[in-house]
Structure 1
Amino acid sequence: MSKKKRRRIFKPFRRASRPGAVPGTIRPAADAPPPLIDLFAYDEHRVHRAKNVTAEEVARARGSARVVWINVSGLGDADVIRSVGQTFGLHELALEDVVNVHQRAKVEEFEHYLFVVARMVRNHQERLESEQFSLFIGSNFIVTFQEHVGDCFNGIRNRLRSPESPLRSRGPDFLAYALLDAVIDAYFAPIEAFGESLERIEDELEIRPTPELVGQLHQIRSDLLLLRRSIWPQREAINNLLRDDNRLITRDTRLFLRDVYDHTVQLVDVTETYRELCADLRELHYARIGHRTNEVMKVLTIISTIFMPLSFITGLYGMNFDTSASPFNMPELHARYGYPMALAAMATTAGILLYFFRRRGWLHREI
């Protein structure tokens, strides 16, 4: 795979804040899209949904319902991010981590809220990408930040519209669980696709190994490495939510988070298994190529060995002189059947060599 292709899979590490900048500086990346803010305010009796709201509308919605969910898609406007943070009392250091999207999955505890960083996976233009998902859990609010528009939360939004949904009767910690569960479950689809691709490649390697299969294996292994780098820290972060005795996470919600942790462990195991399988299939490819090369060399060596005595005989009888007057006459040089007898001698020699090779097992081709 070319270096250009690798750079498309693994984005280079770039920190927006320059060295020596004031801590808490909110400086989005130059290519970050403008933010779009969605609002959900709900309780067990009613739900209010608003799209593309302004920062002022967010401030007015603060405390309008038992649970308020603010989702910001796009990090291209520092003023909007700062305004949302001021509305909910979010620390500037946490907001700095929001716009610096190279963060490792983690959980940080503040006085009145929890700050959780996770990694979302998505398919963009037929390639796998990972983006940062930032989550703030308060006593009556959830604030989430995403790098781009488009996520895996449509199912949660539909559940919030249903009066029978448990989300409507529970607190913001249960909504945080649902969001994290959706983030983790989104990993299963690409991993299942990788499993099907590896099974197909293994079947094709048994039939006919080609260089294209090695390229596919390398790309799958790179994508699996991307998933591994995203999943491993999230297992630790979710485990912290289970261990920490924080009043913002109820005991009932911890039971559901335990299920998310189990899914994360399962993803880690499957990812490691598939990465090892990629290495095994690549070694199988090279082994079959080496075996095929050895078979070709063996056939060529046998052919050369057979023709060595035949070349000697034809070279000996091809010497350009007459020995009729010499006491050392070349046998059958002037005989009537000398030519067919020479051909018979060469055929007999070749037959004896072939019989010898077969008895020794050198002509047996292993599949």
Structure 2
Amino acid sequence: MTRFIKKSKLDIGAAPDDLIFRGQRKQEEVLIRVIDFDANNLREDAVEALHKIKAFQNEKTVTWMNIDGLHNTLILEEIASVFDFDRLVIAEVLNTEARPRIIEFDNCTLITIKMLQQENDTGMIKVENLSLILTKEVLISFQERKGDVFEPVRERIRKQKKRIRNGGTDYLTFALLDIVIDNYLYVVSILGEKIENLEENLLSDPDQQVINEINKYKRELNFLRKNIKPAREMIFALAKLETDFIAESTYLHFKELQDNISQASDVSDSYREILSDQLNIYHTTLSSKLNDVMKFLTVFSVVFIPLTFIAGIYGTNFDNVPELHYKYSYHIMWGVMIVVAIAMLLYFKNKKWL
């Protein structure tokens, strides 16, 4: 299936609030982890029975509930029932192929964005949908697979960092989005380093491998931009959102997100231009090398065409040809022809014309 657009025929005509998981199953079990905290107290739990979720509905603390795995629609439907969410909220969470967006509801705000990470073994950029349901007292995050990308936020909470422990669910939302966008910058910088290193090989040895690398990086960069551009629109919309779930003081931090994601977007655009320039340099260098080859062959032909013309008219029809009656003349002629042919091939290969 394509990486740029994924649409199942079964989704056509489905109602917007149908609870259908639209995505790939990326882990077997659904894991629910809860961190409940205020300025002085902290409680962490792995929730196995959903009825225990009600114990965290306390307006005096901030509750962060993280769900890993989205394929079990019954669990998500029960979460919606516990918190009295509209079915459309959960339907949007289950649609992992949708663009990043913000949707306001009566008792919550839904925020979706793509998380990007680079696989260490293959170097491929993998994408995962992140959904955040923001309320006054509870923030629920939905991930497709279990990961440690948000571990720095958990550590800040455990170490009693004042800003995050004294903040509400809106500041916690900022902290999670900040990590997502920082990963954008990190992935773009890693890809950019590879693109910049191509320039040395491009000038010194513009072979087929270089053009394959350029095309590969163009595909990866286009995939990056396909996810960063909509996320940028969403972050700018979030900074302008007027809702009771976000305190006035938190909007300043959302402005920081605007700067960071604009930087990621601008840098990705710059690397796209660099790749286009490198592609032009490759073709220019290739044309220059071809001109050098043609120049050499032209000079070679100009020298030998008159000699061939003379030999064609007169041949070797002379009375005194010393090699004519020599016993091994025929073999020597073949030997000279083979040596000349091999020498020319080696010369062309040394010049990288072959």
Same topology, TM > 0.5? yes
* 1:286 maps onto 2:264 in alignment: no
Pick from 221, 226, 234 the counterpart of residue 218 of structure 2.
Answer: 221
Pick from 224, 246, 249 the counterpart of residue 246 of structure 2.
Answer: 249
> After the TM superposition, which of the residue ranges 187-196 and 60-69 deviates more from structure 2?
60-69
Structure 1 CA distance for aligned equivalents of residues 201 and 16 of structure 2: 55
> After the TM superposition, which of the residue ranges 64-73 and 112-121 deviates more from structure 2?
64-73
- 2:187 aligned partner, one-letter code: P
* 1:296 maps onto 2:322 in alignment: no
Structure 2 CA distance for aligned equivalents of residues 19 and 13 of structure 1: 12
Partner residue of 2:21? 28
> After the TM superposition, which of the residue ranges 199-208 and 159-168 deviates more from structure 2?
159-168
Structure 2 CA distance for aligned equivalents of residues 280 and 28 of structure 1: 42
Partner residue of 1:274? 271
TM-score (norm 2): 0.84
Partner residue of 2:6? 13
Structure 2 CA distance for aligned equivalents of residues 74 and 14 of structure 1: 20
Cα distance, 1:163 vs structure 2:
2.1
Cα distance, 1:80 vs structure 2:
0.7
* 1:100 maps onto 2:92 in alignment: no
Q: Are the equivalent residues in 2 in contact too, given 1:59–1:84 (CA < 8 A)?
A: no
Deviations 1:299-322, CA, capped at 9 Å, x for gaps:
111110111122223333337489
Partner residue of 2:323? none
Q: Are the equivalent residues in 2 in contact too, given 1:106–1:237 (CA < 8 A)?
A: yes
Inter-CA distance 231–31: structure 2 relative to 1 (3 Å threshold): closer
Q: Are the equivalent residues in 1 in contact too, given 2:47–2:53 (CA < 8 A)?
A: no
Q: Are the equivalent residues in 1 in contact too, given 2:57–2:137 (CA < 8 A)?
A: no
Structure 2 CA distance for aligned equivalents of residues 239 and 318 of structure 1: 84
Cα distance, 1:38 vs structure 2:
0.8
Q: Are the equivalent residues in 2 in contact too, given 1:62–1:87 (CA < 8 A)?
A: no
Structure 2 CA distance for aligned equivalents of residues 17 and 243 of structure 1: 36
Aligned pairs for 1:166-177 within 5 A: 166-177=163-174
* 1:120 maps onto 2:110 in alignment: no
Structure 1 CA distance for aligned equivalents of residues 15 and 194 of structure 2: 48
- 2:145 aligned partner, one-letter code: H
TM-score (norm 1): 0.81
Inter-CA distance 201–146: structure 2 relative to 1 (3 Å threshold): same
Q: Are the equivalent residues in 2 in contact too, given 1:135–1:144 (CA < 8 A)?
A: yes
Runs of at least 4 residues off by over 6 Å: none
Q: Are the equivalent residues in 1 in contact too, given 2:23–2:97 (CA < 8 A)?
A: no
**Bigger CA radius of gyration:** 1
Cα distance, 1:249 vs structure 2:
1.2
Overall identity of the aligned pairs, in %: 28
Partner residue of 2:179? 182
Pick from 35, 41, 44 the counterpart of residue 36 of structure 2.
Answer: 41
Q: Which structure 2 residue ranges, 5 or more long, are not aligned?
A: 321-354
Structure 2 CA distance for aligned equivalents of residues 16 and 63 of structure 1: 43
- 2:290 aligned partner, one-letter code: T
Partner residue of 2:137? 140
Q: Are the equivalent residues in 2 in contact too, given 1:41–1:48 (CA < 8 A)?
A: yes
Cα distance, 1:165 vs structure 2:
3.0
Inter-CA distance 307–16: structure 2 relative to 1 (3 Å threshold): closer
Q: Which structure 1 residue ranges, 5 or more long, are not aligned?
A: 1-6, 323-332, 334-367
Cα distance, 1:12 vs structure 2:
5.0
